């Protein structure tokens, strides 16, 4: 697997939808139906480059566009075993689908968001020291259509209880809105 740090210029990074588009250019031979990466915006401030951390199964190609100001790739080979403990950081878009119209709506309350995360991870890990680090509304434009999602950043400690399930979760990400920088699980050994 590969972990890539990317600095994207402000003009491209001010719309979260464009960040995803820029990252796609690093995988020119991949069909759009199979997104080969997860990412999270680590730093974003008006007028400055945005720093993005991207995880992928394939080595990204350096884009020829002027949108990417910095590009550093590091290969890593994660090995997971039952009983391993990690400190984790995870930004997600905790939502539910309404029965009557099928629309996806966010969970607003802390207890609902924590339950959502525990449900998503329950087959793979045991959680402890779980805290909500931040909540943010993420505004974007898709073409001329404005949109908004709620992102919640969790941190805590996890202990692997199902190796295969956890490996899948680590590679595929958690929840929805992955195209907006949600779902990538960052780990640090304890």
Q: List pLDDT tens digits, range 96-109.
A: 999 888 888 999 99
pLDDT of residue 33: 65
Distance CA 185, CA 72 (A): 19
Give the pLDDT mean for 54-59: 95
Q: Are residues 185 and 91 in the same domain?
A: yes
pLDDT of residue 40: 96
Between 32 and 98, the more confident residue is 98
Residues sharing a CB contact under 8 Å with residue 112, sequence separation 6 or more, in sequence order = 94
Q: Are residues 94 and 184 in the same domain?
A: yes
Between 28 and 76, the more confident residue is 76
Q: Are residues 27 and 115 in the same domain?
A: no
Mean pLDDT is lowest, of 47-51, 145-149, 159-163, 166-170, for 47-51
Which structural domain, as residue segments, surrounds residue 110?
Answer: 85-189
Over residues 117-131, the pLDDT tens digits come to 999 999 999 999 999
Q: Which residue has the tokens 């209880």?
A: 161
Distance CA 58, CA 80 (A): 19
Arithmetic mean of pLDDT over the chain: 91
Confidence at 50, pLDDT banded by 50, 70, 90: confident
Q: Are residues 166 and 89 in the same domain?
A: yes
In a domain, 69, yes or no: yes
Q: Where are the alpha helices (DSSP H) in 82-179?
A: 110-121, 163-172
- Can you give the pTM of this predicted structure? 0.90
Q: What is the CATH number of the domain that holds 107?
A: 3.30.70.1210
Handedness of CA 2, 133, 173, 165 (dihedral sign): positive
Instruction: Name the domain boundary from 75, 96, 111.
Output: 75
pLDDT of residue 43: 83
């Amino acid at each position: 697997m590969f972990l890539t740090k990317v600095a994207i210029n402000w003009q491209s990074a001010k719309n979260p939808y464009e960040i995803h588009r820029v990252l796609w250019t690093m995988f020119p031979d991949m069909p759009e139906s199979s997104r080969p990466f997860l990412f999270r915006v680590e730093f974003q401030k008006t007028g400055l480059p945005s720093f993005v951390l991207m995880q992928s199964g394939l080595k990204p190609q350096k884009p020829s566009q002027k949108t990417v100001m910095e590009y550093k790739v590091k290969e890593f080979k994660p090995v997971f075993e039952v009983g391993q403990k990690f400190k984790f950081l995870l930004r997600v878009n905790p939502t539910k689908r309404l029965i009557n119209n099928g629309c996806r709506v966010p969970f607003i309350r802390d207890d609902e968001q924590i339950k959502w995360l525990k449900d998503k991870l329950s087959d793979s890990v045991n959680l402890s020291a779980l805290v909500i680090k931040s909540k943010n509304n993420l505004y974007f434009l898709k073409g001329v259509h404005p949109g908004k999602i709620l992102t919640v950043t969790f941190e805590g400690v996890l202990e692997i209880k199902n190796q295969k399930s956890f490996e899948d979760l680590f590679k595929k990400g958690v929840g929805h809105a992955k195209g907006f920088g949600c779902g990538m699980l960052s780990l640090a050994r304890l």
